[in-house]
Structure 1
Amino acid sequence: MIDIRPAQVADLQSIQQANIANLPENYVFKFILYHNISWPQGSFVATNSDNQIVGYVLGKMEDDEAENGKDNRLSAHITSIAVNREYRRQGLARRLLQQSLKSLRENYRAEAVSLHVRESNQAAFKLYRDGLGFEVKELTKSYYADGEDAYSMVKTLTD
């Protein structure tokens, strides 16, 4: 059985390890700690029956007026999400995102949330668009360090 719960300081090293193992974009520990300290209700982990972290989501509020958009909505951002390969296709990414979006709305009054997804990651793109209702805002050229383009996506959050 997989449990979804808020990320805790004790989880941060395991979150970093999951990030390194599953994604080409890696974050230094200080960045993950900053997320946890600044927006403690935005990040969640998925744990297996042995209490090992098998997935995570890092969510945050935008701290810059320009990032909140021209319509002045309070905006959140999903910085990173990953699920270990052997736990994929079980709905964990969806559950992690749903929990983060709900918490960002309830705890920080977020009205919209954005994220980026690699153009080549069609499974994630379909989850975000078809499964969770994100819309493509634009295609950002060379967004990733390796030069791959990213879809910039946004979703309006409602009660």
Structure 2
Amino acid sequence: MITIRQAEARDAVGMQACNLTNLPENYQLKYYLYHLATWPELSFVATTNDRVVGYVLGKMNDDDPTTPLDGHITSLSVLRSYRRLGLAERLMTQAQRSMAEVFGAHCVSLHVRVSNVAAFSLYKNTLKFDIKDTEKKYYGDGEDAYAMKKDIREMYLSEMDSLDF
């Protein structure tokens, strides 16, 4: 059975291992721990038998206090043998929901390699992100990235308005 839950510090090594297996962008362990300590509500893991098989690492873009808070997906990865099970979509949906409900985020952004057709399809077709820009040589190896964004206010905030307390 695969479980989606909020990531904890004890998951950081598994998240890093998942990243190292799948992605050319790799982060030091302290980067995961920083995200988990600063925005603990925004990162989630997919686990089976206490093994991390997927994760999403989220944060808030809170640099400019004069603009509404927006969320950002720093990284998303699912091990190859666990793909096509809907885990990436579930991880992303949970992160977006938390950005809206916990922080009142209006939008969520992310970057994706122009060559990553599967991830682009997930973001564009399944999760309904829009391309806002193409950032030239965004990645360390010189590849371009699509800067993508999605308005999440109506998606989650309208659900919160209808809650009875």
TM-score when normalising by structure 1 = 0.93
- The equivalent of 2:32 in structure 1 is 32
Task: Provide, for residues 87-133 of structure 1, a one-character-per-residue CA deviation record: whole Å limited to 9, x for no partner.
Answer: 11111100000000001111111111100000011111111111111
Aligned residues: 154
SS of alignment partner, residue 19 of structure 1? helix
- The equivalent of 1:41 in structure 2 is 41
Cα distance in structure 2, aligned partners of 1:137 and 1:77: 14
- The one-letter code of the counterpart of 1:112 is C
What 5-or-longer segments of structure 2 have no aligned partner? 158-165
- The equivalent of 2:128 in structure 1 is 133
How much does 1:51 deviate? 2.0
Question: Aligned-residue CA RMSD in angstroms?
Answer: 1.2
Task: Provide, for residues 57-115 of structure 1, a one-character-per-residue CA deviation record: whole Å limited to 9, x for no partner.
Answer: 000001311xx8xx922111000000001111111100000000001111111111100
SS of alignment partner, residue 62 of structure 2? coil
Cα contact 2:12–2:33 (8 A) shared by 1: yes
1:88 paired with 2:83, answer yes
Aligned equivalent of 2:114, options 107, 110, 119: 119
SS of alignment partner, residue 41 of structure 1? helix
1:60 paired with 2:62, answer no
Aligned equivalent of 2:73, options 78, 84, 87: 78
Cα distance in structure 1, aligned partners of 2:20 and 2:8: 19
- The equivalent of 2:13 in structure 1 is 13
Cα contact 2:62–2:69 (8 A) shared by 1: no
- The equivalent of 1:3 in structure 2 is 3
Cα distance in structure 2, aligned partners of 1:140 and 1:60: 20
Cα contact 2:39–2:59 (8 A) shared by 1: yes
Give the fraction of aligned pairs with identical amino acids, expressed as a percent: 53
Cα distance in structure 2, aligned partners of 1:92 and 1:139: 27
TM-score when normalising by structure 2 = 0.90
- The one-letter code of the counterpart of 2:59 is K
How much does 1:19 deviate? 1.1
Cα distance in structure 2, aligned partners of 1:127 and 1:17: 22
1:150 paired with 2:145, answer yes
Show structure 1 runs of 4+ deviating over 6 A: none
Q: Which stretch shifts more, 34-43 or 124-133?
A: 124-133
SS of alignment partner, residue 34 of structure 1? helix
Cα contact 2:44–2:95 (8 A) shared by 1: yes
